[in-house]
Structure 1
Amino acid sequence: MKFIRTFFIFSLMEMVELYNKFKGCINVSTDTRKLKNGSMYFALKGDNFNGNNFVEDAFNKGAKYCVVDEPSAVVNKNCILVNDALKTLQELAKFHRAKIKYPIIGLTGSNGKTTTKELIYSVLSASFKVKATSGNLNNHIGVPLTLLEFQDDLDFGIVEMGANHQKEIEFLSSISQPDYGLITNFGKAHLEGFGGVEGVIKGKSELYDYIRANQKTAIINTDDEKQINQIGNYKNIITFGSKNDNNCQIEFLNADPFVTVMFNTLKIQSQLIGAYNFGNIAVAIAIGNHFNVPKEAIKKGIEDYQPKNNRSEIIEKNSTKIILDAYNANPSSMLGALKNLKQLSAKNKMLFLGDMFELGEEAHAEHQSIVDFAETNFEKNVYLIGENFYNCGTKSSTKKFKTFDDIKSILGSIMLDNSTILIKGSRGMALERILEHI
């Protein structure tokens, strides 16, 4: 392929040529450490890396073609020189998406995206061949990589889309082109990038904008007034929730500790904690029901899903029960986790709460609000970790530490027997490290 010089736009002939080369590869890779023999390698750039520097390594590990955007990286005839490797990856994914004939389910939201994606996958897999976003590859690189993994023999594809600023979901929707779209919720996440809660709502609702503009189907939780307001009078919708006039009615029963629901006389007990997971479970049930997955298979799909990767995991050590929810945190998910802990029947409860990031000017107020709720509802055993929490006003009984190293030395001396412990904080806090010291 020749060097593309104009606005990163491929001619149809050039894109077809690139696409045919892609179809002759086993997959696409952007990381030579994980590259498989027969892959197409894209030399992406970041603040601290330049994929063009690893082209020879890629070929040595079996890359069939390398897409590069620096002339110096062209080391043989199987290098494809373009103006921008990232934009080329995105355009290739968009071209591939246009050839996919089966439905794509796209989802976004402030909290619960990955859990919801995994639940939907678990339910649909009972009756169909399905592929979904791997892990949390949900950004401007992850979404194209996800789409390029979708083969011709699938029945459904599930694409998770994340964002921390406006127009990002609009862009990811233009690439993934979902046939069905859902938003898990609107919460206080990435306030700095979105410019406040209203910015979050506007940014996430770009998925609904795509759905409306292209006459696709929205999946709406009617228990969430914000979703109802954002979809407006659009008619092509599937509704679910606790109300009996929904397309799919699911009743919340309890969450002590695991969320249990009622669906069509079937009692379904998940392995997920917290009433905040009800909507995530309900939408997976609704999607399975819409596509005629047998009721017992839906039940099994929900009940078999086991949370992992520090997302609401329950870990039992002797007489101690640990709720490890340290993958990420924002004010909405933190408050939800605290409310869940409050309603549990356990007697001795302990909190290890880490800083929440990307809150901008709202950081102090949001952290103080969490402290106030924790101190009002839990008399003792409140441990706060991180500079934001450290700068909050607290009661004398609350223990706060500026860094993880500050609390690490005393963790071994804390009495944990017969306790239920919540560990919750943003990814950067890595609070799962607490498990190594207790």
Structure 2
Amino acid sequence: MDITELYQCFLQCDGVSTDTRNILPNSLFFALKGDNFDANEFAQDALNKGAAYVIMDNKKLVTDPTKMLYVQDALGALQQLAKHHRQQLGLPIIALTGSNGKTTSKELIATVLSKKYKITATKGNLNNHIGVPLTLLSITEDTDLGIIEMGANHKQEIAMLCELADPDFGYITNFGKAHLDGFGGFEGVIKAKSELYDYLEDNHKTAFVNIDDPRQDAKTITFSRFTFGNDESADIVIDKLEAQPNATVYYKGEVINSNLTGIYNATNIAAALTIGQFFNVDFTDIKQAIADYIPTNNRSQWITKGESMILLDAYNANPSSMDAVLTNFDHLKDDRDKVFILGDMLELGKEGLKEHKDIITRLAEVNNKTAYFIGKEFSKASINNKHENIYHFDTFELFKQHIEEVSNTVFQNKLILIKGSRGIALERALDLI
């Protein structure tokens, strides 16, 4: 089956599905393989649940050639279909990536641009080799602008996603210490994320750039860009960024308030402001969109429990994002004692031990605090690091047992930070407070 035939099938359908647990009626179902599953085995189940066609790459399991359409590689077919669909769309696409803040930035940018345009944006963090094609295929002729978030944990992944999405604009939030194992260190992170810049430059497209970040400034100096920052040379000159406790941006004598926390989120807001200004969204609408945005998915959420305030930022963690949130937490003006509930930072490879030790050492120097470190990485790093009011637990279950034994009154009238990698699922700590 060639791409034009596959595209005709796609046009007859009302969407694309890849999971038999969530089949869209009259959808085109792609039977993908994973480490522990082969969706080819569920082809008939997909049809029974309402799929119009199933794209399969196991010929032996094709029992109805009119509905079960054979291809060499189902994942490759999904990606090529997305690329072909993108080529039929006459609309601009903004791609964004970065080590930290890309999902929040994407949500803010989409919220701002939605004030003037019909937007299709990446849902949640479906930003990988499967999620990006699914987002592209969800774009319809009614869409004015597409926003595609791109994630990666190894080199050449961003380059491949750019080939599919063919972005007209791009934004990199930052270069940070994330997925160090897959990228081969921090320099590998910079090279891999910069694949977006390489694509924009090679195809004469435009980058949105925070020129207060020297690395971003240097990487984009030679090609088309639209900039923001405190420097007077920026296209959008930001007067000041602040976070006490909520992220605030000062611009042309105006104050842009938000429900986000941290100076890092003030930068994300400045990016959304910049892109909104570039696309001629009314400034009053930009302010309102940012003020109305409420963070979800365990990202920078303030939660009140009794007399305690909790900053829940447990969607993910790496050394750069951990440093940013700890710095923000240090600077909060609050008389309450601070409690840190921190989980392992995963996928750091050989850098992991040092990075976890650095966090423990940093917390040991904070006054009027209690710190709970959860996970095997922090436990390994804690050897010979015995400090007052610092506790280490190999697992969340051991931490929970400890809290239940000493009573959750330890969390009363406190300022509490919860942060860790997704695999640790530290949002569970909310039930203990």
Q: TM-score range by the shorter chain?
A: over 0.9
Tell me the amino acid that sits aligned with residue 107 of structure 1. L
What SS does the corresponding residue of 2:321 show, helix, strand or coil? helix
Question: How far has the Cα of 1:379 moved from its partner?
Answer: 4.5
Q: Give me the whole-angstrom Cα distance separating, in 1, the residues matched to 2:82 and 2:263.
A: 37
| Partner residue, 2:211 | 222
Alignment check: 8 A CA contact 1:239 1:248 kept: yes
| Partner residue, 2:392 | 400
What SS does the corresponding residue of 1:293 show, helix, strand or coil? coil
1:201-237 CA-partner distances (Å, limit 9, x unpaired): 0000000000000000011100100101222422x10
1:324-363 CA-partner distances (Å, limit 9, x unpaired): 1100000000011111110001121110010000000000
Q: Give me the whole-angstrom Cα distance separating, in 2, the residues matched to 1:290 and 1:231.
A: 17
Return the match for 1:15 from 3, 28, 36: 3
Alignment check: 8 A CA contact 1:64 1:78 kept: yes
Alignment check: 8 A CA contact 2:176 2:189 kept: yes
1:356 and 2:308 correspond: no
Alignment check: 8 A CA contact 1:411 1:434 kept: no
Q: Give the ranges of 4+ consecutive aligned residues of structure 1 lying more than 4 Å apart after TM superposition.
A: none
1:58 and 2:53 correspond: no
1:385 and 2:374 correspond: yes
1:355-399 CA-partner distances (Å, limit 9, x unpaired): 000000000000011111111234430111111111224233111
Q: Give me the whole-angstrom Cα distance separating, in 1, the residues matched to 2:95 and 2:319.
A: 25
| Partner residue, 2:18 | 30
- Identity, % of aligned pairs? 51
Name whichever of 277-286 and 154-163 sits farther off. 277-286
Q: Give me the whole-angstrom Cα distance separating, in 2, the residues matched to 1:320 and 1:402.
A: 26
Count of equivalent residues:
425
Structure 2 residues not aligned, in runs of 5+: none
Within 5 Å, give how 1:318-357 maps onto structure 2. Answer: 318-347=306-335, 348-357=337-346
What SS does the corresponding residue of 1:187 show, helix, strand or coil? coil
Within 5 Å, give how 1:45-194 maps onto structure 2. Answer: 45-76=33-64, 77-194=66-183
Q: Give me the whole-angstrom Cα distance separating, in 1, the residues matched to 2:11 and 2:211.
A: 42
Tell me the amino acid that sits aligned with residue 423 of structure 1. I
What SS does the corresponding residue of 2:365 show, helix, strand or coil? helix
Question: How far has the Cα of 1:250 moved from its partner?
Answer: 2.0
Tell me the amino acid that sits aligned with residue 387 of structure 2. S
Q: Give me the whole-angstrom Cα distance separating, in 2, the residues matched to 1:265 and 1:298.
A: 15
1:231 and 2:220 correspond: yes
| Partner residue, 1:10 | none
1:428 and 2:423 correspond: yes
What SS does the corresponding residue of 1:272 show, helix, strand or coil? coil
Name whichever of 253-262 and 62-71 sits farther off. 253-262
Tell me the amino acid that sits aligned with residue 346 of structure 2. F
Alignment check: 8 A CA contact 2:240 2:251 kept: no
Q: Give me the whole-angstrom Cα distance separating, in 1, the residues matched to 2:284 and 2:403.
A: 45
Alignment check: 8 A CA contact 1:261 1:269 kept: yes
Structure 1 residues not aligned, in runs of 5+: 2-13
Q: Give me the whole-angstrom Cα distance separating, in 1, the residues matched to 2:387 and 2:53.
A: 62
How big is the alpha-carbon RMSD for the aligned residues of Structure 1 and Structure 2?
1.1
Within 5 Å, give how 1:227-306 maps onto structure 2. Answer: 227-234=216-223, 236-306=224-294
Return the match for 2:412 from 409, 417, 428: 417
Name whichever of 66-75 and 108-117 sits farther off. 66-75
| Partner residue, 2:32 | 44
Tell me the amino acid that sits aligned with residue 269 of structure 2. I
Alignment check: 8 A CA contact 1:326 1:427 kept: yes
What SS does the corresponding residue of 1:271 show, helix, strand or coil? coil
Q: Give me the whole-angstrom Cα distance separating, in 2, the residues matched to 1:354 and 1:395.
A: 18
Tell me the amino acid that sits aligned with residue 416 of structure 1. F
Tell me the amino acid that sits aligned with residue 401 of structure 2. S
What SS does the corresponding residue of 2:333 show, helix, strand or coil? coil
1:378/1:49 Cα in 2 relative to 1: closer, same or farther (>3 Å)? farther
Tell me the amino acid that sits aligned with residue 125 of structure 1. S
Alignment check: 8 A CA contact 2:241 2:263 kept: no
What SS does the corresponding residue of 1:383 show, helix, strand or coil? strand
What SS does the corresponding residue of 1:164 show, helix, strand or coil? coil
Question: How far has the Cα of 1:411 moved from its partner?
Answer: 2.2
Question: How far has the Cα of 1:246 moved from its partner?
Answer: 1.0
Q: Give me the whole-angstrom Cα distance separating, in 1, the residues matched to 2:17 and 2:245.
A: 40
Tell me the amino acid that sits aligned with residue 355 of structure 2. E
Name whichever of 66-75 and 411-420 sits farther off. 411-420
Alignment check: 8 A CA contact 2:364 2:387 kept: no
1:210/1:378 Cα in 2 relative to 1: closer, same or farther (>3 Å)? farther
What SS does the corresponding residue of 2:303 show, helix, strand or coil? strand
